[in-house]
Amino acid sequence: MRYSSPQAVRLITFSILSLVILPLPMVWGQESFEVVRNDVGKPDFSGIYEWPQTLEGDARGCCTATVFDRKYFAPLRENGEAFLEPRTGDPRHDEPRNFCMPSGFPSGILSAYAMRWQQSEDYLIMVHEFQRMTRIIPLDGRDHRDYIEPSYYGDPVGHWEGDTLIIETTNFKRWGLDDYFYTDSNEYRMHSNALRTTERISWMSVDTLRYVLTIDDPKIFSAAWAQEFKIRKRPEWDEAGIVEYVCQENNRCAGGACEGN
């Protein structure tokens, strides 16, 4: 078949250029980088990291811990379970972590402490310096365990979608959602025991992960909602590692400040 028109020549030229350009790894507006992979070809997330940080323009709260930005919330369900619980004056309710109670998930991963992740073919293990919180996440997409008691950190199960790791967690106790308690004492944000979280983790640059956390709580919110964070790898922290975090049982003084004793 012969092409003689200028339009046909331009079409052929564009097609040839497309064949040349498409295979290049460069992403428009983003530096090209090589994803580190394990022996089975999956992205390897092993390393030491900061806690998740908000993106530019999102609410940060008053403290170093990360909080959810209200603008991402779905509308509250009418006649649903309480989302906000004001302080009651009972320190075991107002700040149960002062009494060695777990931070829970997702609040724990947002706490302002280092994290170490160790990945094998079968598991991703996340160890947080804060409260020594440990999550052992199978990566084979197995079924959730319906025979265990609800817990503060739930029952996580991971699977791969291309180079993105998807972690779905169910079977939670009702507990605190994040650390907004320290930004506004009237907004002690809670999640219900129907919470289901989905984490999507992938590399966005050579030293930073894209971390998208979806909150699906049908007893509180009318729909699922999500917020994107970034997690920076910090190899310079590797020498010090994760410092031991010890909580003394039966602590009777909130924040360790005992008055009149």
Domain boundaries, the chain: 47-238
pLDDT at 155 over 50: yes
DSSP state of 117: E
At residue 168, does pLDDT exceed 50? Answer: yes
Q: Alpha-carbon torsion 184, 187, 191, 196, what sign?
A: negative
Q: What would the mean pLDDT of 139-144 be, rounded to a whole number?
A: 96
Is residue 26 scored above 50 in pLDDT? Answer: no
- Model confidence, pTM: 0.83
Query: Average pLDDT, stretch 125-146?
Result: 95
CB 187 within 8 A of CB 181: yes
Q: Span 12-23, mean pLDDT?
A: 36
Reply yes or no on whether the pLDDT at 64 is more than 80.
yes
Assess whether pLDDT exceeds 90 at residue 5.
no
What would the mean pLDDT of 149-169 be, rounded to a whole number? 97
Average pLDDT over all residues of the chain: 85
Alpha-carbon distance of 109 to 125, in angstroms, equals: 13
Report pLDDT for 253. 59
Which tens digit of pLDDT belongs to each residue from 100-111?
A: 889 999 999 999
Cα–Cα distance measured from residue 98 to residue 257, given in angstroms and rounded to the nearest whole number: 10
- pLDDT at res. 249: 59
Q: Answer whether residue 3 shows pLDDT above 50.
A: no
The predicted structure's pLDDT at residue 184: 84
**Would you say 176 and 195 are in contact if contact means Cβ atoms under 8 Å apart?**
no
Contact 111, 103 (CB under 8 A): yes
Q: Backbone dihedral region of 73: left (phi > 0), alpha (psi from -120 to 50 degrees) or beta? A: beta
Asked if 224 and 213 count as a contact pair (C-beta separation under 8 A), the reply is no
